[in-house]
Amino acid sequence: MRDDYTDRNPALGALYAEHIESLTARHDHALEQAGASHAVIYSGNPKIAFLDDYQMPFKPNPHFVSWLPLTRLPFSYIVYTPGETPVLIYFQPRDYWHVVPGAPDGYWTSQFDIRVVHSVDDVANHLPENREKCIVIGEIQDPASSFGIERVNPTTAINILHYARGVKTQYEFAAMRLASHRSVAGHVAAAAAFRNRESEFDIHRAYCKAASHTEPELPYGNIVALNQHGSVLHYTDFDRDAPADPRSFLIDAGAQVHGYASDITRTYSFSDQGFQDLIDRMEVLQLSIVSKVRVGVDYRELHIDTHRMIAEVLVDAELASGDPDTLLETGVTSAFYPHGLGHLLGTQVHDVGGFMENESGTVIDPPSGHPFLRLTRVLEENMVLTIEPGLYAIDMLLENLRGTPAEHHVNWTTVDWLRPFGGIRIEDNVRVLVNDRENLTRDAFAQL
C-alpha cells in the first residue's frame, strides 16, 4: 500500500529508533524475569477455511507488528537477544499464485539484521542453536512453527509485555494520529453518503474508498447502521437497499497505519430535530467525560460517573424519571447504555492489558453489574484509550425491566419515539497526559 501513510512518512522514521529502544528494554526485562536469553516473535500464518483451500485474510501477531510496520509478512520471525541487533527472518516465498513480499525497504531496515529466506525450512538456520534458552511469542497452531522451542508464550514474559503495552511511544502516537486522519476521511465521506440517501452497503463502500482501505485492511468490521439498526451494538449486515425514510445513521469505523488502529464512532440525524437535540446532548456528555481523562483517574470510576451522567440525559429527554443513583441501581441506565465506556487502543483495537493491575498479571475486575467494561486500570501517562458513551432503544434489555422497580422509572411513550432511530454512540480516541489529554479524533476532524 503506497500512499501518504507508507513507511516513507518522515514523522514515523524520525521516531522509530527511540521506539525500538523502548521495545528492547521491555523485552530485556521480560526475558530476565522468564529466565530466557532469546525472544522469537512469530508473525503468524494465514488460516485456511474449513473443508476448503481458501486462505482467510491474514491478521499478524500484534507483538510482531509492535516491532515492525509489516502487516503482510506471514511465516516470518524476529529473534531478539539482549545487547544484539534484532534479527528479522524475512519470509519471501518463491510463488506465482500470490503477491510475494518485495525486498525489505523503509525506515525500519537500519534497526534489523535482515535474513531473507525463501523456504520455511530455512528459518531454522537463523534461530539460536540452544532452543532451551528461547521463548516463542505468537500463535503456534502447528508445532513445527516453533522449531523445537518448547516455551511458547510463557506467562511471566507475556504479562510483562502486555502490561507495558498499555503505555505508548512517540512513534506509536504518530502512527495512531495518521490512522485517525485516515478514518476521519472515511467518516466524512460516509456522512455525505448518508445525506445522499444511500444504502448501508454503499455508505460502507464510500468509507472504504475515502479511507483507502480494502475490507481486510480495516482494523475491525465497519458498523454502518441506518435507523433502528443503530440499536444493534455490533451491526455489520449492510443492507443493499436504502430505506425509504432515512432517519438516523450510526457509524463505528476505524482505520490502521502500520498495524496501529483508530476506532471512531459518530451518529447523525437526517432531519428530525428531536433526535438531533438528543445527539447534541450526548455530544456535551461525551466531551465532559473526555475532559476528565488524566493521569491517576480510575477508569472504573469514570465509567460509573458516565452512568450517572447518562441518567441525567435520560431525565432531560423524558426517557426516564428519578435521581441518577436510583436509575443506576435499578438497572435503568444499563438498559439504555449496556456496554463499557471504552478500552485501550493500539496494535489491537481492544488492546491487551486493560484489566491488569501490574506486570504480574493481577486482574482488576470491572464494577459489579458492569461486565462489559474492557478497561479497569488507573490511567497512566501516554495510554491511548477510547471514550464512547452510548444511549440506545434495545428492546430485549428494556423488556427485562418489566415487572421490576425499574419499570416505573421508564417513560415508555418516549422509548417508542426513540426506537425507530436505534441509538446514539459518540467515540473519540484519547491520549492520557498528566493534567490534560490529547484528543486524536477531534484533532483529526479539525485538521481535515
Q: Quick check: is 2 in a domain?
A: no
Q: pLDDT category, 5, cuts 50, 70, 90? A: low
Neighbours of 82 (CB within 10 A): 14
- Output the CA–CA distances (angstroms, integers) from residue 243 to 79, 239, 247, in the order listed: 54, 9, 9
Q: How far apart are CA 405 and CA 38, in angstroms?
A: 59
What stretches of 277-435 adopt beta strand conformation (E)?
A: 384-387, 390-392, 423-425, 428-432
Query: What single-letter DSSP state applies at residue 372?
Result: T
368 plus 299 within the same structural domain: yes
Residue 372 lies in a domain: yes
Would you state the pLDDT for residue 58? 94
pLDDT band at 266 (very low <50, low <70, confident <90, very high): very high
Q: Kindly state whether residue 100 falls inside one of the protein's structural domains.
A: yes
Report the run of H or E that residue 134 belongs to, with start and end: strand 134-137
Cα–Cα distance measured from residue 100 to residue 104, given in angstroms and rounded to the nearest whole number:
12
158 and 177 part of one domain? no
Share of the chain above pLDDT 90, in %: 96
CA distance 202 to 224: 10
Closest CA to 246 of 201, 195, 192: 195
Neighbour order of strands in the sheet with 437-439 = 384-387, 428-432, 437-439
Which band of pLDDT confidence, cut at 50, 70 and 90, is reported for residue 132? Answer: very high
Residues 214 and 253 both lie in one domain: yes
**Is 300 among the domain residues?**
yes
pLDDT for 11: 84
Same domain, 200 and 139: no
Going by the DSSP 8-state scheme, the letter that residue 48 receives in this structure is B
Q: Residue 1: pLDDT band by 50, 70, 90 thresholds?
A: very low
107, 142, 164 - which closes a domain: 164
Supply the range of the domain harboring residue 47: 10-164
The answer to whether the beta carbons of residues 303 and 340 sit under 8 Å apart is yes
Of 164, 190, 206, the last residue of a domain is 164
Q: How many domains does the chain have?
A: 2
Task: Report the candidate in 216, 226, 441, 445 with the shortest Cα–Cα distance to residue 345.
Answer: 441
What is the average per-residue pLDDT within 95-109?
93
Same domain? For 221 and 135 the reply is: no
Report d(CA 390, CA 67) in Å as an integer.
35
**131 & 215 share domain:** no
CATH number at residue 58: 3.40.350.10
User: What is the phi/psi pair of residue 153, to 5°?
Assistant: 50, 55
Mean pLDDT of 215-221: 97
The cell numbers describing 414, all together, are 418516549
Average pLDDT of span 140-146? 95
| 1 in a structural domain | no
Asked if the structure places residue 249 within a domain, the reply is yes
For the residues 96-116, what does the mean pLDDT come to? 95
Asked whether 426 and 286 are in contact (CB, 8 A), the reply is yes
Domain boundary among the residues 147, 164, 181 is at 164
Q: What is the pTM of this model?
A: 0.96
Residues 290 and 393 placed together within one structural domain of the fold: yes
Q: By CB neighbour count within 10 A (0-12 exposed, 13-18 middle, 19+ buried), where does 93 fall?
A: middle
Q: Which residue has the cell 500470490?
A: 98
Cell, residue 262: 483508530
pLDDT tens column, 396-417: 999 999 999 999 999 999 999 9
Over residues 24-80, the pLDDT tens digits come to 999 999 999 999 999 999 999 999 999 998 899 999 999 999 999 999 999 999 999
Q: Per-residue pLDDT for 288 more than 50?
A: yes
Q: What is the DSSP letter of 132?
A: G
Q: At residue 3, does pLDDT exceed 70?
A: no
pLDDT at 2 over 70: no
Mean pLDDT of 94-102: 92
Is the separation of the CB atoms in 340 and 289 below 8 Å? Answer: no
Task: Based on the fold, state whether residues 94 and 175 are members of the same structural domain.
Answer: no
> Do 62 and 194 have their domain in common?
no
**Mean pLDDT of the region 170-190:** 98
CATH number of the structural domain spanning residue 371? 3.90.230.10
Q: Tell me whether residue 327 is in a domain.
A: yes
Q: What is the pLDDT of residue 10?
A: 76
Average pLDDT of 94-101? 91
Beta bridge partners of 265: 252, 427
- Taking each continuous run of H as one helix and of E as one strand, the counts in the chain are 12, 15
| Residues 339, 325 share a domain | yes
Are both 222 and 120 inside the same structural domain?
no
Cell of 417: 419515539
| 197 lies in the same domain as 282 | yes
Is 75 within the bounds of a domain?
yes
Q: pLDDT tens-digit profile of 299-338?
A: 999 999 999 999 999 999 999 999 999 999 999 999 999 9
Query: Which pLDDT does position 375 carry in this prediction?
Result: 98
